[in-house]
Amino acid sequence: MMTPDSALFTAMSVINLEGDLLDQGEFNAWLELWQHDGLYVVPIDPNESDFKNTLNYAFDDHHMRERRVKRLYSGESISTTPRARTLRTLSRFRLLESREDLLVVRGAQSLWEHRKGHSRHYAADITWQLKPQDGRWLITQKVIRLVNSDDVLHSIGYIL
Q: How far is CA 52 from CA 1, 8, 127, in A?
A: 33, 28, 17
| Helix residue ranges per DSSP H, 58-115 | 62-74
Entry pTM: 0.90
Question: Would you state the pLDDT for residue 126?
Answer: 97
Provide DSSP, 124-135.
Answer: EEEEEEEEEETT
Cα(10)–Cα(15) distance, rounded to whole angstroms?
Answer: 9
Which residues of the chain register pLDDT less than 70? 75-83, 151-158
Question: Would you state the pLDDT for residue 118?
Answer: 78
Question: Would you state the pLDDT for residue 158?
Answer: 60
Write out pLDDT tens, residues 114-146. 877 778 888 999 999 999 999 999 999 999 999
Question: Would you state the pLDDT for residue 86?
Answer: 85
Q: Is the dihedral of CA 115, 116, 119, 121 positive or negative?
A: negative
User: What are the backbone angles phi and psi of residue 60, rounded to the nearest 5°?
Assistant: -100, 125
Q: Is 103 exposed, middle or buried (0-12, 13-18, 19+ CB in 10 A)?
A: buried
Question: Would you state the pLDDT for residue 1?
Answer: 75
